[in-house]
A and B are shown apart, each in its own frame.
Chain A
Amino acid sequence: MNKLYIFLKYFFIVVWTVFVVAPFLWALTTSFKDFQSVNGGVTYIPWVDFEPNLEGWKVLIKSPARGGVDIIEPYFNSLFVTCTASLISIILGTLSAYALSRYTFKAGFVKNNDITFFFISQRIMPPIVLSIPFFLFLSSINLLDSLTGLIVVYIVLLMPIAVWIMVDFFNKVPREIDETALIDGCNPYQAFLKVVLPNSIPGLIVAGMFCIIFGWIDFFFAFILTFTEVQLLPVKIVALNSSVTPWWSLSASALVSVAPLIIVAFIVERYLSKGNLSGAIK
């Protein structure tokens, strides 16, 4: 029974790993292939089945005039928009979450939980519902097709995630810790910065990770709210798909686009395995 359990466990782990890793391997090998290796029958192993070359990767950084696709600018646009929007969302979201967790608000029938739900409801709503209001709003303040406009929209999209995660996290930090800080001579701001925040780093990291992921993978709003001046990576890559870009360049671009998320995942994983996410608060 026990052996069967272990066998099944590892069996499923292996199957799942293959399922997850295979597409990456496929994309990785394809990105180093040339026309002959892709279209001339099945090839798997570099240097044995085919001779790897960097043509697919070079195309990514060449300007369109020289036959490239130039994803550098969209790449940095995406990084900039995602990081800025995530950072602002985390700061605003954490402050709102702390207020929602510690203070009682009441406006008619609207109470703390309703406000929290209002934030979350922004994510429950189908994005298409928001697209036209956003479009009109950005055009009225002249921010269509600009990085600033995208950041504003992304904050609206990401902040609910931060609020949601952090409210839950702060609710688990005993109020008595804040109270002790007050008694020990902190004013409410110092209590938040010196005591509550340092004990909330695990929550901040999780919230930050989700913001970055959701910001980075968004295609819909980047597609609707930008035209020619500004392009984000997901839009650029989809555009490559519909043009005559060869498979090897598409593979390379796909790999570059998931790279930041893989890095984020590794950082968070290290943090998780150090055990810092649990046990900070007893």
Chain B
Amino acid sequence: MDLVANNLSYKPDDQYHLNEVSFNFKEGNLYTILGRTLSGKTTLLKTIAGLLTPDSGEIEFDGKNFLKIPVWERNVAMVYQQFINYPHLNVFENIAFPLKQRKIDQSVINEKVTDALKSVGLLGYEKRKIQELSGGQQQRVSLARSLVKNAKILLLDEPLVNLDYKLREQLREEFKNLFSKGLADETILIYSTTDPRETMELNGEVIVLDEGKVLQVGPAKEIFENPNSLKVAEISNDPPMNIIEAKISDNQIRFEGINLEAPQHLSKLTEDGLKIGLRSSDIELNENGHEFEVELAEISGSETLLHLKRGDTKIIVSIEEVLNFKIHDKVKINFKIDRAYAFHAGGKLASSPFGGLNG
């Protein structure tokens, strides 16, 4: 049973929330919608759920026109980024709600709810009130409520974004287990996120969305290795990919007085306005490297992010250890230039180290 959308557009104000979005989702697969805040992820999920009607376009599911079916008959499940549960019901009643709505036998309900509670690790919490649970537990309840229905389409709208770091890691791990346990055999799982790392870990088919437009579709690995444009490269990397305006001639990449030997996949590009893209992890500190000035140094977790400057060129370097730097310190860095991407002046990918296009 496929979920097929054709040219979905939605423009409630003067901006597109969805702009000619098309996709073909197959059952048993995980689809990750990657995009920044306000890129239209929630709008797309709500449109699939039936909570929003697009201005134009079609959605078909199992060969039927989905837009003609009201939300309550669509058999979808959705988990919101806010922890949405029914505050007047306890944990058990919350999870049983969609089943009760289908008038299922009480004994079957008990069994299914217990299973769902087990899979989200909340056994023993049946009688608790929602307000007595932590954010992570509340989100597990709403996940359990969406699992218990055996919905054909499961929509997860940034389910981890409002959780703290530890819990996010833990729940993400549990999600991966749940998804791989065969839950997704007949289900179309659609997961939206702003986090490139989450996207790579979930390792599903990725749809990169920006300003309501689909920029690229492909497996996570493909998006990571061969982003088809500067935009995608920015969205799918955190910190965003460094973009350096450079010139390539005589097998040399030149910028800010630095000359680097061009790797093979870049050597043939000699056009004007070329942009070199290099991930922050592909730049390292090196005594014999090129001198840059520290603009800002932030430590996040076990990582140090260095914001560096040389002339008009600004770059971010991430270092896998905690180091202390002062503003205006001079540091020397080396570029792993064989990992560099090149983009045309218009933003399209010109060449990637993983063999995209000119490589």
Q: Residues of A at under 8 Å CB distance from B?
A: 174, 176-177, 179-187, 190, 195, 198-199, 279-282
Judged by a CB distance under 8 angstroms, whether B149 is at the interface is yes
Given A185-B98, A186-B101, the answer on whether A176 and B88 have CB atoms closer than 8 Å is no
Q: Taking CB as reference atom, which chain A residue is nearest B76?
A: A183
Given A185-B101, A186-B101, A279-B131, the answer on whether A180 and B71 have CB atoms closer than 8 Å is no
Given A180-B78, A282-B131, the answer on whether A185 and B102 have CB atoms closer than 8 Å is yes
The answer to whether B71 and A182 touch across the interface, beta carbons within 8 angstroms, is yes
Judged by a CB distance under 8 angstroms, whether B70 is at the interface is yes
B88 to nearest A CB, angstroms?
4
Judged by a CB distance under 8 angstroms, whether B143 is at the interface is no
Q: Which 4 A-B pairs have the closest CB atoms?
A: A185-B101, A184-B98, A182-B71, A198-B88
- Which residues of chain A come closer than 8 Å to B74, judged between CB atoms? 183
Given A183-B71, A185-B72, A187-B72, the answer on whether A177 and B84 have CB atoms closer than 8 Å is yes
Instruction: Indicate the member of B77, B82, B87 with the most A CB atoms within 10 Å.
Output: B87
The answer to whether A184 and B101 touch across the interface, beta carbons within 8 angstroms, is yes
The answer to whether A183 and B86 touch across the interface, beta carbons within 8 angstroms, is no
CA distance A177 to B138 in the complex (A): 14
Q: Taking CB as reference atom, which chain A residue is nearest B81?
A: A176
Task: From the candidates B49, B102, B131, name the one contacting A183 in the complex (CB within 8 A).
Answer: B49
The answer to whether A281 and B87 touch across the interface, beta carbons within 8 angstroms, is yes
The answer to whether A176 and B82 touch across the interface, beta carbons within 8 angstroms, is yes
Task: From the candidates B72, B84, B97, B145, name the one contacting A176 in the complex (CB within 8 A).
Answer: B84
The answer to whether B131 and A184 touch across the interface, beta carbons within 8 angstroms, is no
Chain B contacts with A in 37-79, Cβ cutoff 8 A: 46, 49-51, 70-74, 76-78
CA distance A177 to B80 in the complex (A): 10
CA distance A180 to B97 in the complex (A): 11
The answer to whether A199 and B88 touch across the interface, beta carbons within 8 angstroms, is yes
CA distance A77 to B131 in the complex (A): 44
What are 14 A-to-B residue pairs whose CB atoms are below 8 Å?
A176-B80, A176-B82, A179-B71, A180-B84, A181-B86, A183-B51, A183-B76, A184-B145, A184-B149, A185-B72, A185-B98, A185-B102, A186-B101, A279-B131
The answer to whether A174 and B88 touch across the interface, beta carbons within 8 angstroms, is no
CA distance A233 to B90 in the complex (A): 45
- The interface size of chain B toward A, counting residues with CB under 8 Å, comes to 28
Given A180-B80, A183-B76, A185-B101, the answer on whether A195 and B86 have CB atoms closer than 8 Å is yes
- Which residues of chain B come closer than 8 Å to A184, judged between CB atoms? 72, 97-98, 101, 145, 149
The answer to whether B88 and A186 touch across the interface, beta carbons within 8 angstroms, is no
Q: A180-B86, A183-B72, A282-B130 are in contact. List 11 more A-B contacts (CB 8 A).
A: A174-B82, A174-B84, A176-B80, A180-B78, A185-B73, A187-B70, A190-B101, A199-B86, A199-B87, A279-B131, A282-B131
- Which residues of chain B come closer than 8 Å to A281, judged between CB atoms? 87
The answer to whether B145 and A280 touch across the interface, beta carbons within 8 angstroms, is no
- Which residues of chain A come closer than 8 Å to B72, judged between CB atoms? 182-187
A182 to nearest B CB, angstroms?
4
CA distance A280 to B131 in the complex (A): 8
Task: From the candidates A183, A195, A198, name the one contacting B77 in the complex (CB within 8 A).
Answer: A183
The answer to whether B87 and A280 touch across the interface, beta carbons within 8 angstroms, is yes
B91 to nearest A CB, angstroms?
15
CA distance A182 to B88 in the complex (A): 17
CA distance A182 to B73 in the complex (A): 9
CA distance A8 to B229 in the complex (A): 70
CA distance A181 to B51 in the complex (A): 11
- Which residues of chain A come closer than 8 Å to B145, judged between CB atoms? 184
B213 to nearest A CB, angstroms?
25
Instruction: Indicate the member of A174, A184, A185, A186 with the most B CB atoms within 10 Å.
Output: A184
Q: Taking CB as reference atom, which chain A residue is nearest B79?
A: A180
Q: Taking CB as reference atom, which chain B residue is nearest A279?
A: B131
- Which residues of chain B come closer than 8 Å to A179, judged between CB atoms? 46, 49, 51, 71, 78, 84
- Which residues of chain A come closer than 8 Å to B78, judged between CB atoms? 179-180, 183
Q: Taking CB as reference atom, which chain B residue is nearest A282?
A: B131
Q: Taking CB as reference atom, which chain A residue is nearest B73?
A: A185
CA distance A150 to B87 in the complex (A): 39
CA distance A170 to B97 in the complex (A): 21
CA distance A177 to B74 in the complex (A): 18
- Per-residue CB proximity of B28-41 to A under 8 Å, as 1/0? 00000000000000
- Which residues of chain B come closer than 8 Å to A176, judged between CB atoms? 80, 82, 84
CA distance A279 to B130 in the complex (A): 11
CA distance A279 to B82 in the complex (A): 16
B147 to nearest A CB, angstroms?
12
- Which residues of chain B come closer than 8 Å to A185, judged between CB atoms? 72-73, 98, 101-102
Q: Taking CB as reference atom, which chain B residue is nearest A185?
A: B101
CA distance A177 to B77 in the complex (A): 13
- Which residues of chain A come closer than 8 Å to B149, judged between CB atoms? 184
A218 to nearest B CB, angstroms?
34
- Which residues of chain B come closer than 8 Å to A182, judged between CB atoms? 50-51, 71-72
